[in-house]
Amino acid sequence: MLSEAETTRECLESKILANQIRSIAICLFSHLGKILVCEFPDSVKGDHAARPLGGGIEFGESSEQTIIREIREELSQEIEDIKLLGVLESFFEFEGKRGHENVFVYDAKFKDRSIYDRGLLKVVEGDLDLTACWRSKEELASNVRLVPDGLSALIPGA
């Protein structure tokens, strides 16, 4: 039986498209100097990466619609005040596999303001149960690698 880290790694690896560009949308949910991220181990690099919540843009769907759908799927939450902060082109390697993504970066607010008082949030990603946590830019810089590259410059107040 695979460990939770191994299962998470396999799920994330399966989303890297071989020799194709993937378009995704992510959302920071910046609040009181922190953003909401999921952290993932990379056994090849021997470190951990942190990425805001979001996912792949489906055909015929706008990047904003993607954020709304993904947050409903992953957290069963509604969001508002959605703002596009920028678009990053990300060339990366995860678990030894090369990837290329166009990343639409958003900020938004949860309609249910009690979300901000929770230290950890359960995230549903397909068959996986993951955990998201609030991290400051300083915590991210000292503990994990924030991805995609260039994201820290888009964090409000950065």
Could you report the per-residue pLDDT of 74-117, keeping only the tens digit for each? 999 999 999 999 999 998 888 888 889 999 999 999 999 999 99
Q: Which domain holds residue 86?
A: 4-154
Are the C-beta atoms of 38 and 128 separated by less than 8 Å? Answer: no
Q: Is residue 50 over pLDDT 50?
A: yes
* pLDDT of amino acid 18: 67
Are the C-beta atoms of 85 and 55 separated by less than 8 Å? Answer: no
Q: What is the CATH number of the domain that holds 85?
A: 3.90.79.10
* pLDDT of amino acid 1: 44
* pLDDT of amino acid 158: 60
Domain count, the chain: 1
* pLDDT of amino acid 17: 58
* pLDDT of amino acid 142: 85
DSSP-derived secondary structure for 20-83: S-EEEEEE---BTTEEEEEEEEETTTTEEEEEEEEEEPPTT--HHHHHHHHHHHHH---EEEEE
pTM of the model: 0.86
Q: What is the residue-averaged pLDDT of the chain? A: 87
- At 16, the pLDDT band (50, 70, 90 cuts) reads low
Q: Is residue 14 over pLDDT 50?
A: no
Q: What are the distances in angstroms from CA 2 to CA 57, 102, 152?
A: 29, 31, 33
Could you report the per-residue pLDDT of 118-151, keeping only the tens digit for each? 989 999 887 777 899 999 988 888 878 899 999 9
